[in-house]
A and B are shown apart, each in its own frame.
Chain A
């Protein structure tokens, strides 16, 4: 199970948070801070796993993260997930974002948090991996976007 997915930038500003277990808002912020603290002090050439922080998880949980340019993508997972598998999944997720936003950059995530969520929803659902095939993910996202577009045509044209 995936307990949480956090995306924040090099300064620890959250760009997307997705908890699959309830935490109150202030706790969520603390977790982000703690995770940022843990992750940000690591060099880029060290391994991408670290033991979970004190706030989230416990001995069974691990933080698995990847650092892309200005953003950190952190997944907090338990031992039923394959570590390398999750690393691949992060890669798939980021590549999907890249396709959906055409050369994704931090600004896309800042201004379209909702869209990022919708994409993520096609990858992970309720803490479990839903789909790992990038083409399938993109296809579903696009159908839904079209659906949304068809609904938003100006009133007068109907």
Chain B
């Protein structure tokens, strides 16, 4: 062994460490990949070695390689190995690697549950810290479920360092396991008032994250946060709280009113810009929520705007950016206040910083009005010309279009101007937004009827100058515009001045270089134009023009018939044949124009983009139902015998059939796509146009003609938008003048004069009338469309699951799964409950040997029951194996015969403290698992356990070795001893679990009581909040788990702690197999100064009807630098009768039945001078005495509890003016008497 260790450390000296690896990579710049691959080979070798130091080094290097982009998930298992090292150094490396490369689908994660649990409960707070940090990065739903309770316990850790980490990680746990939110919330809330500012800040952080997603559930916390806001001086906390209020105010305007004042004060007083900014933000949110409900809110707005202006004018670009950001929020509700700062915002458009320019653009969006739209757009157009870099220019382009088209073109008074703006935008080089411009053109042309004449003329010019747009295929984005142009010219060709010319333009050979989907539109609309030409020539005796048109079509269309694009080909050949036929008819002087026009008759109306989705499903139509019976599976089997004679046929026909189906489907899909692409009304919904273009073969190979673009493009014949600004101004002035005249007239008529001065006041929005009588056609929606405009939330949003009402009282079924205690918390249905009671009442009679129980079970007539027990047993078995393996113990017969023993008390043979801790951590859950009573309360997956088993068996040897090393080292270095104390009587104490506390957040109640204390150590015992009975255990009597906290109060190290009690006849401390009845138990940890830790001890109790007292001693060694002394502390364990009661829910009908049965003896007490609200009183009884409320009517409540041996205890509690009367019934009078005494005592203390 020693040799191996020495060899190991020599090996280590030759290994590359992280620094060597980095150096190596830097020295191999040319062949980095090759070098790294040799390094990875080395790492693989290192991982194969037993030495954990070598492994950890290898994992550390892998973490580095992961950063460089190498997938290291193959080493996941090795990472787990390193994580489970007992040394902090290696553990930290392991957890770091895990946090960098584990994720939900990493399968070894499920092996880590127990390791993490062990680390979480480690006596070393840094082990716990490292585990929490790691876990926060790779927590999975399974881990969250299994560890939720452990983490929740850590929220009350003595060290703030752990508390704050535990609080933060709860958020991750909630996300993965939403069921944990309600049970954990009360404690989380408690942490808002933690004495440590770090913990407080963490709690605020978590609640803010939660509240941001589902604010309404957190409104009830507002008063608490309000208090924190006015008292806290930590800017981080303040910022978070203020942000949270920003999320809450929209839900509760009254809150907003209260906030204004303190926030305004903060704005005035704080020097921290970050805080100031968040205050302004929240004030804005408040003002938005109040809209106009506040009398003097204009002052607040002015304050905000004024502060923001200061920010925007600041030389610090960050403040400028944020100022603009906040300004845009004010804009939504109070545009007037912002509009007065237009100068400042336009100035920001010139900023060198793109982020700031973009923000300013956002602001402009909201600042436009009918009056200033043209001016603002003009300014933006200037920026478009100046802009460098396509991203910003594209952004400008989309913003211009957004600004103009917002709220159904509300601000556009002159559509001719808008069309010319769009046409001007087509001159942008290299824009990606051709389709956006195109869709605007289509939209305007279709919906604004009055503009069609103008639009068609513009589009015709555009088509005529198409070469300008398509000259460079690099700028392909813009040729989308031609799609719109061609369609508009075709569809509204009746407005064309010279359709023949346009027709010619559309059939130019160059068109064939355009993308396929555009060509298709060209061809189709050429046919429309052709029809228009024919129509215009109708009745004209001279038919040359018409014949020229036919000839033109016949000449040019063959080019398109040869197109590689199917759509183009099909349309072209169709139309070509049609035209040929028409030509024939023309030659015979037949009038055809009417028929040809009929081809394109009818007007298409715009359809709303969501219209299709909104068509309601008619009654009685089930879209999921089969129209025809689906081919049943059995059918094919039935067919097989028939196939004997025609074997080949069915085989062939089937696949062929499906193939056809697929083809057909694909074809239909394609057809649909094409249809959509070519139907202008689908343009919004189909981004496929570009895709189609990319798919077109051969477009890239077409030679590109470069055009010298140094001269700014001016398409001849196109008006410049600028002139519209002037025109519009003139028009408006004229209108105003006319209006004035009218007004004067009116005023003359009505001498009375209302004092309104239209002429002197600034032009108001309504005064501006549009230049055109614009008839904006609204988009069509199907009849009966449901107004379900709210876009559903993303179903994948994890926060959706966290929309949980936190104010409802916690139901028992909601408690967190606690491995050790799960059974007691199972909510039973009344029927099962009764059954459970039967079982438990049988239990004490059972004999303690396995065989006997087996026999008993055989006899048991109730099958269900036996089934349950089998399950129990199976479970127990697994648990046991697990604990056993992890203890690093070879099979010990003791484990099989005396299961209860290993629960907390590790066999003394394993003195290595690690093993002992493992045993304690791993085995503690056992009692809970054993006491499982209903099948559904069996949540541990056997699979999991199996895997753990295999893993741990693998590890066992290594671990043992390691342990030994560690042990030896420790022995040499310091003499650490551990003494366990096992308090013997389990009556009162019980396992820490915090389930009851959470139910009753009202009065602060602690369930720990001081056991003993001296200058070195303080021993606290958890006041029994729950006792655990071991149903179906081999032994008579019951078992109780006691949780004891040891706190080191001195500056020295405490170690070798041993715990012993003097057993009584009735109550015995369970000791490991092989130890005598008076041997003490070693506590599996040491206590550094100021540290506290918890140990659990198991007691067996025979009779539970009387309270018990046990004397005990704790011995320990106090070690400081100079000396070490042996110390001892005596204590008394007091097991009350209450501690044998288990909180058991009971339904009122079952409760009534129980009372009627008449088996119960009654007794009663009166408590005088109880000065507390009734619900507090009930809460106290529930909390301290493990009752549950069955029913409560006004100031009267019935309560129920059950002892671990199945005694029913029923209470009727009444209160009238400070006097409480408790009438109680129980089937065991002695027990009842004692419980009542204890209740009395509880209230006499307060």
Chain A interface (Cβ within 8 Å of chain B)? 1, 14, 16-18, 20, 22, 24-26, 28-29, 42-43, 45-51, 80, 82-85, 87-88, 110-114, 117-118, 121, 125-133, 136, 140, 143-144, 147-148, 151-152, 155, 158
Return chain B residues, CB-CB under 8 Å to A16.
67
**A84–B322 CB distance below 8 A:** yes
**B198–A84 CB distance below 8 A:** no
**A117–B318 CB distance below 8 A:** no
| Residues 133-170 of chain B, each 1 if its beta carbon lies under 8 Å from chain A, else 0 | 10011000000000000000000000001001100110
**A25–B321 CB distance below 8 A:** no
**B358–A125 CB distance below 8 A:** no
B277 within 8 A of A: yes
B95 smallest CB distance to A (angstroms): 9
Return chain B residues, CB-CB under 8 Å to A18.
100
Return chain A residues, CB-CB under 8 Å to B322.
49, 83-84
Partner of B89, one of A84, A143, A148: A148
Return chain B residues, CB-CB under 8 Å to A26.
69
**A43–B352 CB distance below 8 A:** yes
Partner of B165, one of A47, A112, A130, A143: A130
Partner of A143, one of B126, B168, B972: B126
A104 smallest CB distance to B (angstroms): 16
**A22–B212 CB distance below 8 A:** no
**B63–A126 CB distance below 8 A:** no
**B63–A114 CB distance below 8 A:** yes
B74 smallest CB distance to A (angstroms): 12
**A144–B88 CB distance below 8 A:** yes
**A47–B96 CB distance below 8 A:** no
B864 within 8 A of A: no
| Residues 232-266 of chain B, each 1 if its beta carbon lies under 8 Å from chain A, else 0 | 00011001000100000000000000000000000
B741 smallest CB distance to A (angstroms): 51
Known contacts A80-B208, A130-B164, A151-B87; A125/B169 CB under 8 A = yes
B1013 smallest CB distance to A (angstroms): 28
**A82–B243 CB distance below 8 A:** yes
Provide the bound-state CA to CA distance between A43 and B26, in Å. Answer: 29
Provide the bound-state CA to CA distance between A118 and B88, in Å. Answer: 13
A86 smallest CB distance to B (angstroms): 9
**A128–B321 CB distance below 8 A:** no
**A152–B18 CB distance below 8 A:** no
Provide the bound-state CA to CA distance between A125 and B1118, in Å. Answer: 36
7 contacts between A and B (CB under 8 A): A16-B67, A46-B352, A82-B278, A84-B322, A111-B18, A113-B18, A151-B89
Q: Closest residue of chain B to A82, judged by CB?
A: B239
Return chain A residues, CB-CB under 8 Å to B209.
1, 80, 128
Q: Residue among A22, A49, A125 with the most chain B CB within 10 A?
A: A125
| Residues 107-131 of chain B, each 1 if its beta carbon lies under 8 Å from chain A, else 0 | 0000000000000000010100000
Give the secondary structure class of A's interface: mixed
Return chain B residues, CB-CB under 8 Å to A87.
318
Provide the bound-state CA to CA distance between A28 and B69, in Å. Answer: 7
B434 smallest CB distance to A (angstroms): 20
**A147–B88 CB distance below 8 A:** yes
Provide the bound-state CA to CA distance between A82 and B169, in Å. Answer: 20
Partner of B88, one of A24, A151, A155: A151
Known: A111-B18, A130-B165. 5 other contacts (CB 8 A): A49-B322, A84-B274, A113-B63, A128-B206, A140-B161
**B60–A114 CB distance below 8 A:** yes
Return chain A residues, CB-CB under 8 Å to B970.
158
**B133–A125 CB distance below 8 A:** yes
Return chain B residues, CB-CB under 8 Å to A84.
273-274, 277, 318, 322
Partner of B198, one of A47, A82, A131: A131
**A47–B69 CB distance below 8 A:** no
Counting from the closest, the 3 A-B pairs by CB-CB distance are A126-B136, A84-B274, A47-B317
Q: Closest residue of chain A to B9, judged by CB?
A: A155
**B70–A125 CB distance below 8 A:** no
- Chain B interface residue count: which class? 35 or more
A-facing residues in B37-71 (Cβ within 8 Å): 60, 63-64, 66-71
B288 within 8 A of A: no
**A114–B93 CB distance below 8 A:** yes
| Residues 7-22 of chain B, each 1 if its beta carbon lies under 8 Å from chain A, else 0 | 0010000000011001
Partner of A126, one of B100, B169, B277, B318: B169
B1235 smallest CB distance to A (angstroms): 45
Return chain B residues, CB-CB under 8 Å to A1.
209
Partner of B277, one of A49, A82, A114, A127: A82
Return chain A residues, CB-CB under 8 Å to B484.
none
Provide the bound-state CA to CA distance between A49 and B355, in Å. Answer: 7
| Residues 949-984 of chain B, each 1 if its beta carbon lies under 8 Å from chain A, else 0 | 000000000000000000011101100000000000
Provide the bound-state CA to CA distance between A48 and B319, in Å. Answer: 10
Q: Residue among A20, A80, A132, A152 with the most chain B CB within 10 A?
A: A80
**A158–B972 CB distance below 8 A:** yes
| Residues 350-393 of chain B, each 1 if its beta carbon lies under 8 Å from chain A, else 0 | 00111110100000000000000000000000000000000000
Return chain B residues, CB-CB under 8 Å to A130.
164-165, 168, 198, 202
Return chain A residues, CB-CB under 8 Å to B901.
none
**B172–A158 CB distance below 8 A:** no
Provide the bound-state CA to CA distance between A84 and B238, in Å. Answer: 13
Provide the bound-state CA to CA distance between A16 and B68, in Å. Answer: 9
B1220 smallest CB distance to A (angstroms): 46
Provide the bound-state CA to CA distance between A17 and B169, in Å. Answer: 20
Return chain A residues, CB-CB under 8 Å to B124.
147
Q: Residue among A29, A114, A140 with the most chain B CB within 10 A?
A: A114
Provide the bound-state CA to CA distance between A118 and B164, in Å. Answer: 17
Return chain A residues, CB-CB under 8 Å to B69.
25-26, 28-29
**A128–B352 CB distance below 8 A:** no
B758 within 8 A of A: no
**A113–B320 CB distance below 8 A:** no
Q: Residue among B317, B356, B970 with the most chain A CB within 10 A?
A: B317
A3 smallest CB distance to B (angstroms): 12
**B88–A148 CB distance below 8 A:** yes
**A118–B96 CB distance below 8 A:** yes
Known contacts A25-B69, A111-B22, A113-B64; A152/B89 CB under 8 A = yes
**A125–B318 CB distance below 8 A:** no
**A128–B205 CB distance below 8 A:** yes
Return chain A residues, CB-CB under 8 Å to B164.
130-131
Q: Closest residue of chain B to A20, judged by CB?
A: B137
Known contacts A14-B67, A49-B355, A151-B88; A129/B205 CB under 8 A = yes
Q: Closest residue of chain A to B206, judged by CB?
A: A128
| Residues 399-442 of chain B, each 1 if its beta carbon lies under 8 Å from chain A, else 0 | 00000000000000000000000000000000000000000000
